[in-house]
Structures are given as C-alpha cells and as structure tokens.
Amino acid sequence: MKQKALWINQIKGLCICLVVIYHSVITFYPHLSGLQHPLSGLLAKCWVYFNLYLAPFRMPVFFFISGYLIRRYIDEVNWRTSVDKRIWSILWVLALWGVLQWQALSHLNAWLAPERVLATSSNAAYADSISGFLRGMLTASTSLWYLYALLVYFTLCKLLSRWKLPVLGLLAVASVTINVVPLPWWGMNSVVRNMIYYSMGAWYGAQLMTWMKGVDLRRLWLAVVAFGIVSVALWFANVPLLLSLLSIVAIMKLFYSIEQRYAVRSGNLLNVIGSNTIAIYTTHRILIEAFSLFLIAEMNAAYWPVWAELTLIVIYPFVSLLVCTLAGLGMRKISTALFGDLFFSPPTRPSAAPATR
C-alpha cells in the first residue's frame, strides 16, 4: 500500500473497532439484571451511554471513507468492470456470511439460551424460515447491513452522478427525516441515514481532502467551536447530520496530521486492522453473540465474586474487541491459505476459452 494512503486505512481500522465495541455493548450490558454491586450497574449504564455518544463518529466516517476510496469507479470505470469489482464481490460476501451468521446465531441461541424468545422478524440472523431470512436480507434487517448499504450506495452514486448537488440535497433531507419518520426496518433506516456520507466521499471526497489538508483549524477555532456547539445542540434534537460532518473533517485532520509528524508504517496495528475490515466485520457478530449469551447467564445468576463482576463490566468491550480482531485476522489468513480467500472474495469466474477452427 502506498505510504500516502496509510492514514486513511488507519481511519478504517478505528471505525471497525468502534463497530465491534458497539455490538459488544448493545448485546451485553442492557441484558444484565442480576448485578450484585450498585457500581456495576452504574458502570454498565456508562458503557451504554458512551456507546450512544459515539454514534456520530462511527458509521458516518466509515461510509465517507468507503465512498472516497471508490470514487474512481464512479467517474472512470465502466459498468461491466464495476459490477465485477464493486458489486459482485460485495454481494458474494453479503450472501455467504448472511447464511453463515444465520446458522451460527440460531444454533448458538438454541445451545446457550434455549429459553430466549427471539424476534425472528427483526433480524435475518434470527429468522425461523428461509422466507423469513430472505425477507430480512432484502430489507436490510441484518447485522451485515453495512455491506447491503455499500451495494445500494455504489449503484445509486454511479447512476446519479450527473445530478450530484440536487441528489445530495435530497439525501440530506432524507437523513434528517428518517430520524423522525422511520421505516419499519431498522437496517433500512440506517441505510437511508448514512447514504449522504458515502455520496459525499464518492462525489466530493477529493475536493474535501484537498481542503482539509490545507486548512489550519487553529486559525478558525472560533468558527469551529461555534459550529460544534450548534452541531451538538442539533444532535440532542435528534438531528446528527452536522455533528457527523464535523466528525468526518476532525478525524481526517487528526490522522493526516499524525502522519505528517510521525512515520506511519504499514505494520501499524490500525493499518493492519483497516486492511481487514471485511473479515473483522463479518466474523465479529458471531463471536459476540457467543460471549454475551454465556456471560449474561453467568452475571445474572450472580456466580462471580463482586471484584470479578466489576472487572468484567469495565473491561468487557476491550477484551471482546481484542478477541474479535484476532479472530477476524486469523480467519482471513485461513481463508487465504486454504480456500483462496473464498470466504471474503468471490470465486474467480472462468474465462471463455478461445474458439478453435
């Protein structure tokens, strides 16, 4: 990878780490009902609220970078090549891991929590039939909705690239409106909410990057503070758009500045993680389900001593992140070494044999 792109890859690494922490928190802490110490309950609530406060900094940045990295396919690459490189490759991973997650999560729940009542229509991974699974996947009601969004976003951005500004205006309205008038599918709400960030990266990412690299935010500190205050106020009013845009610029500026001051190597931890985001994204949800089902039962039964309970409440998201990251990286290596990376890349389609006379 070229040195100049490492800081962008590190942002991807940060984003996937935040995604893993998000799922670790929402599948564990809200379901704890048998904690022995009042401080345990307080710390659990702190993790839940901290997770909520990270929302404007997580998926918007992830999608902006995703859009920025495919802008060449939007402007220069023909549809035939784009379908092969940008659509078929993602569709393969979405379909394959959709099935793997469905089977894994269904069997894990039957094994570790047979008494648990699953909302079979809310997530494709909990579906009780093939038709329910397909319905969940088609409506983005899946833990893999990020991949679903990438397919939709790329297709629409390439189709609508002639009308960038009016489309961006409509996407901004949709991003705000979906918070007030949501669709019946939680994943589709996220797809609608985040498309503006991907589109900005795909259509105007290069210009924004050039501006970001040249601007000195310290000279504009008063304007930045004022914009930040307004953005936070709107976020509390359930309009996170401005805060998300501010977070995109701030995080890019931070990582770009760090690269300018310090030598960033390709073996840097965040860079390695950023190079394997799909592997970590597709595998982590299965592991987190197993962790949460086992540990929730242990915590609610009050088997552990208080000191161990408090320790777990504090460090669980970090331990989960570490295990999921190592497992994702390991799975990628196994997939590459034994199966030609079949778990994360589609099989190579055979080329047509030359005609003989």
- Taking only the tens place, the pLDDT of each residue in 228-249 is 999 999 999 999 999 999 999 9
Selection from 178, 262, 202 nearest residue 76 by Cα: 202
pTM of the predicted model as reported, rounded to 2 decimal places: 0.92
Alpha carbons 153 and 150: distance in angstroms, whole number:
5
Does the structure show a pLDDT above 60 at 354?
A: no
Task: Note the pLDDT of residue 318.
Answer: 96
* CA contacts within 13 A on the Cβ side of 129: 4
Q: Which of 48-57, 183-192, 262-271, 313-322 has the lowest average pLDDT?
A: 262-271
Is the pLDDT at 54 greater than 90? The verdict is: no
**287-324 per-position pLDDT tens digit:** 999 999 999 998 988 888 999 999 999 999 999 999 99
> Using CA of residue 308, residue 313, residue 316, residue 318, what is the dihedral sign?
negative
pLDDT band of residue 58 (cuts 50, 70, 90) is confident
Rounded Cα–Cα distance for residues 227 and 248 (Å)? 14
Q: How many angstroms separate the CA atoms of 170 and 157, rounded?
A: 13
Which pLDDT score is estimated for 88? 93
Residue, of 163 and 261, whose pLDDT is higher: 163
Among candidate residues 245, 238, 232, 230, the one with its CA nearest the CA of residue 176: 238
Supply the mean pLDDT for the chain.
90
CA-wise closest residue to 344 among 66, 81, 89: 89
pLDDT of amino acid 218? 83
Cα-to-chain-centroid distance, residue 7: 18
pLDDT of amino acid 216: 87
pLDDT at 263: 76
Q: Which residue has the higher pLDDT, 338 or 117?
A: 338
Please tell me the predicted confidence (pLDDT) of residue 349.
62
Using the Cα atoms of residue 250, residue 251, residue 252 and residue 258 in order, give the sign of their dihedral: positive
